[in-house]
Amino acid sequence: MRIVLIGFMGSGKTTVGRLLSKKLKLRFIEMDDLTLQKSSRKSINEIFEKDGEEYFRKLELLVAKDLAKKDNVVISSGGGVVMNKSTMNYLAKNSRIIYLKTGFGKIRKQVMLKKIRPPLFKSIAFAKKLLILREPLYENFANMIVNTDNKNVSNIVEEIIYGRK
């Protein structure tokens, strides 16, 4: 089984993915970590700063290609994978794609809790626009949409495993 979590920055892909993988006894993979490993930089922010977003997307595509061969995994994808169709094609291979749909209020709160702000969360206004642009893409690629507002991590994981209540 291959499960890929997609969704905006701060939608809880990592936290949900970790618990989900534990419950299903699958390996957890954080895509951003692998993308960073493909570069010589110290952080994702540094890749964006020194090499630019386009270069980051190229690395992300290579990671998705590597991951296409992996089975029995839960993959927490980068928030921008939906911007590249080829990346999504690799991720979608034999996968169940789950969109964690989160309202901007919760996204904002969760991103503010992070020690380092993601590079594309430049300002509230910019992030809001980006979410509006990406929402239809997340919905199109998803096999299942889970609304995460007003739910805790265990509620969300149960909904993914047992279906909507």
Q: In the complex, which residues of this chain contact ligand S3P (CB under 6 A)? A: 9, 13, 32, 44, 78-80, 118-120
To ligand S3P, the closest distance from the beta carbon of 135 in angstroms equals 12
| CA 145 centroid distance within chain | 13
CB of 48 to ligand S3P, least distance (A): 7
How many other CB atoms are found less than 10 A from the CB of residue 157? 22
Distance (Å) of CA 144 to CA 23, 71, 95, 152:
18, 19, 11, 18
Q: Least CB distance from residue 60 to ligand S3P, whole Å?
A: 7
Residue 106: CB minimum distance to ligand S3P, A: 14
Query: What is the number of the residue whose Cβ is closest to ligand S3P?
Result: 80
Nearer to ligand S3P by C-beta: 95 or 102? 102
For ligand S3P, the closer CB: 105 or 163: 105
Residue with Cβ nearer ligand S3P (54 or 165) = 54
Sign of CA dihedral 99, 114, 60, 83: positive
- By the 8 A CB rule, do 16 and 100 touch? yes
Helix (H) or strand (E) holding 27: strand 27-30
